[in-house]
């Protein structure tokens, strides 16, 4: 901390991290909004449109939504403002394979050579990215320097995982983010795909005949990945499926007894790409 008791390092992420607002505030995380586009309308994700409003539009609008990375100037203005208060800036951002966000941040940083800025490709999205950003922000809140904050984030890249079940692959397919899961597209419509983000892209895990069994498959995969570990951090995420997410969170808490469990409603940009009804979990072990 500096002499005023403020963190020495500012942690920046983007709105695809889906970090619950109370945690953003608690850890003083700076969130750069993605851009959401539907028909002739454009919004800043989480700023001038919230999730319930967007999902109602998604249900009723004839236009299919799209998203775009933040503009360079959005990062540049934030970096300049933060540099007045801190010694360095750690920007932990959505996978470069899924978005041009990192490129925008890199151009902004290159325009500000006198400000210490480190950009981390999380190879992640949603609360997989959110958990990495939170871990970095905790180190910053404890007074860690830029090297410590960035080191914490990079140590979790590849360790923080996310598994999720979508009602349909249509949204990933139309949004161009389907990745290696493309080979599942066109299979029987009643099958529920279990997916993950690995190496920065969407990858298929399994195809299951019902949503309930698909979520059971998620637990089975987690048991394999977490075997022999004790301290597990988790975040259940959903798109317009709060009751299903709550039931899933209770199941995970009973089975894994995580040291912390967050619940996150995915914001409009993530919701655009995975679609309503999506339920999943991000996690890592110490």
What element of type H or E holds 165?
strand 161-165
Supply the pLDDT for residue 5: 54
Q: Identify the structural domains of the chain with CATH numbers, from first to last.
A: 9-34+69-156 (3.40.50.10170), 161-285 (3.30.1180.10)
Among 39-48, 133-142, 251-260, where is mean pLDDT lowest? 39-48
Q: Confirm if 244 and 196 have CB atoms less than 8 A apart.
A: no
CA 54, chain centre distance (Å): 18
Q: Compute the mean pLDDT over every residue in the chain, rounded to the nearest whole number.
A: 91
What element of type H or E holds 153?
helix 146-156
231 DSSP 8-state letter: -
Residue 111, sorted as left (phi over 0), alpha (psi -120 to 50) or beta, turns out to be: alpha
Supply the pLDDT for residue 122: 98
pLDDT tens digits along 52-66: 888 888 888 888 888
Supply the pLDDT for residue 189: 57
Supply the pLDDT for residue 190: 64
What's the CA angle centered on 48, arms 137 and 141, to 5 degrees?
10
> How many CB atoms within 10 Å of residue 47?
12
* Residue 175: pLDDT over 90: no
Among 6-10, 102-106, 171-175, 271-275, where is mean pLDDT lowest? 171-175
Q: In what order do the strands lie in the sheet with 9-14?
A: 30-32, 9-14, 88-93, 117-121
* Residue 196: pLDDT over 90: yes
One-character DSSP codes across 3-71: TTS--SEEEEEEGGG---HHHHHHTT-EEEPPEEEETTEEEEBTTTB-HHHHHHHHHH-SSPPEEEPPP
* Residue 185: pLDDT over 80: no
pLDDT tens digits along 80-139: 999 999 999 999 999 999 999 999 999 999 999 999 999 999 999 999 999 999 999 999
């Amino acid at each position: 901390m500096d002499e005023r008791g403020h963190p020495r390092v500012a942690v920046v992420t983007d709105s695809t991290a889906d970090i619950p607002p109370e945690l953003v505030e608690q850890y003083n995380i700076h969130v750069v909004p993605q851009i959401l586009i539907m028909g002739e309308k454009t919004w800043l994700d989480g700023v001038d449109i919230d999730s319930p409003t967007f999902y109602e539009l998604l249900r009723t609008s004839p236009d299919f939504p799209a998203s775009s990375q933040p503009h360079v100037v959005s990062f540049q203005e934030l970096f300049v403002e933060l540099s007045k208060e801190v010694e360095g800036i750690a920007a932990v951002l959505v996978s470069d394979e899924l978005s041009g966000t990192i490129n925008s941040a890199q151009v902004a940083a290159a325009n500000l050579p006198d400000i210490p800025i480190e950009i981390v490709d999380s190879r992640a999205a949603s609360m997989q990215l959110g958990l990495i950003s939170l871990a970095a922000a905790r180190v910053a809140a404890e007074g860690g320097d830029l090297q410590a904050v960035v080191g914490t984030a990079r140590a979790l890249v590849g360790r923080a995982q996310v598994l999720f079940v979508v009602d349909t692959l249509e949204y990933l397919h139309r949004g161009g983010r389907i990745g290696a899961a493309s080979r599942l597209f066109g299979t029987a419509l009643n099958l529920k795909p279990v997916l993950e983000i690995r190496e920065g892209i969407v990858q298929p895990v399994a195809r299951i005949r019902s949503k309930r069994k698909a979520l059971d498959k998620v637990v089975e995969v987690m048991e394999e990945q977490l075997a022999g570990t004790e301290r597990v951090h988790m975040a259940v995420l959903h798109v317009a499926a709060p009751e299903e997410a709550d039931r899933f969170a209770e199941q995970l808490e009973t089975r894994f007894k995580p040291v912390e469990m967050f619940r996150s409603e995915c914001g409009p940009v993530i919701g655009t790409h995975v679609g309503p009804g999506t339920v999943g979990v991000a996690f890592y072990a110490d």
